[in-house]
Structure 1
Amino acid sequence: MWWMGKADVGSGLSATPGAQNAGIVVRDEPHAGQMISVRPTSPMVMNSASVHRDQIVSSYINIYFPDDIKGSIGLDPWYSLISAVSEMPNKPIMLEKALAATSCIYIGRTKRDNHLLSQGLQLYNGAIRHVSHQLSRKNYTDDLFYTLGIFQVLATLYCPAGLHSLIHQTAVTNGIFQQCFRHVSNTPLIKTLCLAFQRMRLLKALSPMEAKSGVELVIEHSPDELVSDEDQAVDELFHLMAGIAPISAALGMTDVSDDDACHLLLQDSLAHRDKMLSWYSREIRRIGGAPSVGQSGEFPSSTIPSAEHMFGLPYRFPTLDNARIHIVYWAALSILQELIGQAYAYTYPYAPVDSNNKNKEHQLAEYYADEISRGIPYCLQDSMKAWGASGTIFGMGQIAKVYMELGNSEKFMWSQELFKHEAELGSDLAYHMHHLLLFSWDASQKARQGALSPESWSSTSHQSVPATPPSPVSSLSSASTAPFKEEYASMPGTINVPVRPKLESDELEC
């Protein structure tokens, strides 16, 4: 079965405040030699299993989502989906169990209540049986579509088998989504949810954990099907982002000895960047406006260390949706800049580079990564709860990748604090990405040590080699990046000025 498997549930149990508020059974953490006692539930919970499930879902919503949610469906369909489903008067048992399973598993994980986690897994298995029955009968209903959407989100919260299992499950679910979409009702909610899940698929495909050679948005839609001006603008952005994949694929297939092919690839890459920059200048109002500069300590987080000494003051956004759009946009530009840097190196192999073998275009990739780092604190402030953090993982993956490739330990380790924070908020996806990136960091550091020249070894033959060599990238310090940041500070995609300054690479001719 392609669905996530069973989890090992330990014997250590702890009280769950959110669960207590919902009136469900919890157990206290026992002392050595003490019998485990069961706290009785309120009579109200015992009246109906449906009441029990509705209460735990309500508890989950209060824990996971911020108190004041503003903005449209944006880049995260989860709130719209769970709100619509939880308010349905007569939910089928499949949908009810799926929603309750997600709530129990999430609260059980974050509150370390293994009893509640076990209950959630039982509900999940029950929902899976209903899904399997409907799939075997090819009964593609609206309820099946909603249930698959819930499982899609649940997979990121609880994937004990690791990233490969999550990627496989997501791919299979997307295939079933396509079949469902051909049969379900033609409602605005279903259309918008399906488009939103496709956007999530594209983000995963462009992320470091799942690189694809080709990605496209396969669901046909017309502009009048999109729910708002903001959604139409975001739709255009994602179609531009889908155009990054062919550039990446072309880099892998281009013969570096073919000067004409390298020049053409570089020009295509620069042209695509111009399209993305033009999109921002054109659509800035429709996505809610540009961010402003916040104040020091304005967005408090109980676990994320301040990084103002590395990136400057954080950004303040009109809404969480607006923040997520900017983070996705900056991440896409950072990815594209890395590809342009490779194309530039193919075309001009003897052009000046810094001490880390990075050209000007690679440095611009770091600049956009720093912009993401200034935007993330707004999303991760305590008042945004887990939902605020969930929309930043694409940007988090990109900044970690950039800082790793540049060899900057301070910035990279700060990015890992973001993953640890989101993992503590209940995301297994963040947990697995954190460990994957740490493994990659260790491997990159060993590679850097192995790349030391014989001369450097002979000059230090009587000295011990440090476990982590000093970072060769002086451009990562605030002092050395000052001229670079001044040059690009007025670019679209940052703040205020809608015209990008001319770059040397713009003068290249095929």
Structure 2
Amino acid sequence: MAVSDVDMWHYLLQGFAGLPNKTEMLDKTLSAITCLYIGKARQDDRMSKHGLQLYNGAIRHMSSMISRDVFSEDIVYTAVLFQEIEVSRLDLQPLQNQANVVPITKSSYCPNGLGSWLAHINGLNTIMKHYHQRTVNNPLIGPIYQRYQKLRMIQSSSARGLLPDEYKFLTETTDGTPFCELLGIFAELSPIVTKLQSIDPSDYDACQDLLQHCLRTKKRFFAWYVKHRLADGITTDPPGEFLSSDTPDAERLFGTPLSFRNFDYILLHLHYWAGPCLLYPSIFHAKKLVYAHPKSNIPADILNKALDPLQNEEYLEASQCADEICRTMRYCTRDSMKVAGYHMTMFPLCAASQIYTNFENLEKFSWCIKIVESAASRGHETAHYIVDISWHTWRIKNQCGPMTSVALREIVPESVSGKRHEKILDATEEA
């Protein structure tokens, strides 16, 4: 069994289940996630509640092991499962007297939102940092360290506000796969946004440096695409079951729908185009700072074009990138893909919807929201919250004008996501 860039979750789950001599903690967690999936599929509340009881028992086991500094690689495996359990149970009501300990971060127990999922992501980051020297490079630990957890970090943060150790983790550890390289480029979005939020507009040299950082990152995304010949994996010939029962047609809006030569190309394609969608608003703001500075001496016509998102080069390119994401949706959401297709599309689709928000393109934005609502109807519980977040960003745009991307860490209140006591610094600096 080989791990792919795309199907990491199923690979890991099969690997965890097949391990000999599992700890009681891991065994309970595997049973818990099974009960929760079956309970949801059969609408069996008793089965779901039993899964929650097993989940809480596993949390207590992990807390005990961590407090005694008793390390087992099962701690890492269990922390991965905790993340997926939180995704699967967002709509489930809590039992009375549940344990309200989340590994490491000890945040509030949040059964009806994204807070506990975000807390588990932060918890696994801390676990990996603390125990990394005690782990061996086995076929399960490797994908968790190199790709799975990096993907979860990017999904939760849009690579914004990364702590120095998180930035280091994303950029310095790699297994050489195309997807791992791409996630390392995503990490560069964090110092860009940090500088953008704190820069002195009167400091022309600092504004120039920021713009050049943005443009270098843009070139890195493009060079990655060319290096790995991503276009070779794309075809416009749809499979027989291409049409989905509840995905609205969008050829008029976005162009000819895409399909792929093999499954691994899908996630690479989606996340590649999501990168520029998140980066280009920052380039727009950086250019705005440079061009508007008295030292720039930019002609009025070029300045006006640079300051108008509807004419700005990067914003127009970002709109094309968002369209590329949406051209993929018909393939990913066809009936035979079930929930798996939606699972990989939510993060890129959020990036695309934020571009349409900046352009005030209600038609394309609403189309994205319909896809997210379709995911919710098929059992993807995070989709309910993504709909709310997307409309939240739409309202912010109407109130504040052009903006950069919005991350889940910024939307979820600290009281439910786990307070990050560490100071968030420029990610390229030491803590």
What is the TM-score normalised by the length of structure 2? Answer: 0.77
The runs of 5 or more residues in structure 2 that have no matched partner are: 91-110, 293-302, 402-431
Instruction: Flag the 1:264–1:186 CA change in 2: closer, same or farther, 3 A.
Output: closer
Aligned with 1:218: secondary structure? helix
Matches within 5 A, 1:84-103: 84-103=15-34
Q: Does 1:151 align with 2:78?
A: no
Q: Does 1:247 align with 2:182?
A: no
Q: Does 1:82 align with 2:13?
A: yes
Q: For 1:53-112, what per-residue CA distance to the aligned partner results, in whole angstroms no more than 9, with x for missing partners?
A: xxxxxxxxxxxxxxxxx9843155211111112223443332222112112213323443
Matches within 5 A, 1:453-472: none
Q: Are the equivalent residues in 2 in contact too, given 1:340–1:361 (CA < 8 A)?
A: yes
| 1:329 alignment partner AA | Y
| Structure 1 position 366, deviation (Å) | 1.1
| Structure 1 position 367, deviation (Å) | 0.9
Distance 1:135 1:345 in 2: 49
Distance 2:203 2:125 in 1: 39
Q: Does 1:262 align with 2:207?
A: yes
Match of 1:388 among 341, 344, 348: 341
Q: Does 1:212 align with 2:165?
A: no
| Structure 1 position 320, deviation (Å) | 2.6
Q: Are the equivalent residues in 2 in contact too, given 1:244–1:336 (CA < 8 A)?
A: yes
Q: For 1:393-429, what per-residue CA distance to the aligned partner results, in whole angstroms no more than 9, with x for missing partners?
A: 2101101211112111111111112222222333332
Partner of 2:264: 321
Partner of 1:237: 182
Q: For 1:137-176, what per-residue CA distance to the aligned partner results, in whole angstroms no more than 9, with x for missing partners?
A: 2122122221111112222222333123432332123212
| Structure 1 position 297, deviation (Å) | 8.3
- Identity of paired residues, percent? 31
Q: Are the equivalent residues in 2 in contact too, given 1:369–1:399 (CA < 8 A)?
A: yes
Q: Are the equivalent residues in 1 in contact too, given 2:258–2:327 (CA < 8 A)?
A: yes
Partner of 1:179: 130
Match of 2:276 among 333, 339, 345: 333
Aligned with 2:140: secondary structure? helix
Partner of 2:154: 203
Q: Are the equivalent residues in 1 in contact too, given 2:147–2:180 (CA < 8 A)?
A: no
Q: For 1:120-143, what per-residue CA distance to the aligned partner results, in whole angstroms no more than 9, with x for missing partners?
A: 112212222222222222122122
Partner of 1:416: 369
Distance 1:271 1:202 in 2: 23
Matches within 5 A, 1:4-23: none
Partner of 1:107: 38
Q: Are the equivalent residues in 1 in contact too, given 2:82–2:120 (CA < 8 A)?
A: no
| 1:170 alignment partner AA | I
Q: Over the residues paired in the alignment, what is the CA RMSD in angstroms?
A: 2.8
Distance 1:296 1:307 in 2: 17
Distance 2:186 2:77 in 1: 27
Partner of 2:67: 136
Greater CA radius of gyration, 1 or 2?
1
Aligned with 2:269: secondary structure? helix
Q: Are the equivalent residues in 2 in contact too, given 1:311–1:373 (CA < 8 A)?
A: yes
Distance 1:123 1:274 in 2: 48
Partner of 2:232: 289
Match of 1:277 among 211, 222, 226: 222
| Structure 1 position 324, deviation (Å) | 0.5
Q: For 1:20-62, what per-residue CA distance to the aligned partner results, in whole angstroms no more than 9, with x for missing partners?
A: xxxxxxxxxxxxxxxxxxxxxxxxxxxxxxxxxxxxxxxxxxx
Distance 1:296 1:89 in 2: 40
| Structure 1 position 219, deviation (Å) | 7.5
Aligned with 1:407: secondary structure? coil
Partner of 1:404: 357
Distance 1:176 1:295 in 2: 43
Q: Are the equivalent residues in 2 in contact too, given 1:148–1:177 (CA < 8 A)?
A: no
Aligned with 2:318: secondary structure? helix
| Structure 1 position 244, deviation (Å) | 1.9
Partner of 1:374: 327
Q: Are the equivalent residues in 1 in contact too, given 2:309–2:315 (CA < 8 A)?
A: no
| Structure 1 position 206, deviation (Å) | 4.1
Q: Are the equivalent residues in 2 in contact too, given 1:106–1:426 (CA < 8 A)?
A: no
| 2:333 alignment partner AA | L
Partner of 1:116: 47
| 1:240 alignment partner AA | I
What is the TM-score normalised by the length of structure 1? Answer: 0.66
Distance 1:442 1:263 in 2: 31
Q: Does 1:189 align with 2:140?
A: yes
| 2:31 alignment partner AA | A
Distance 1:182 1:385 in 2: 39
Q: Which has the higher helix share?
A: 2
Aligned with 1:352: secondary structure? helix
Q: Are the equivalent residues in 2 in contact too, given 1:104–1:119 (CA < 8 A)?
A: yes
| 1:343 alignment partner AA | A
Match of 1:440 among 372, 375, 393: 393
Partner of 1:359: 312
| 1:321 alignment partner AA | D
| Structure 1 position 290, deviation (Å) | 3.3
| 2:13 alignment partner AA | I
The runs of 5 or more residues in structure 1 that have no matched partner are: 1-69, 452-510
Distance 1:109 1:383 in 2: 20
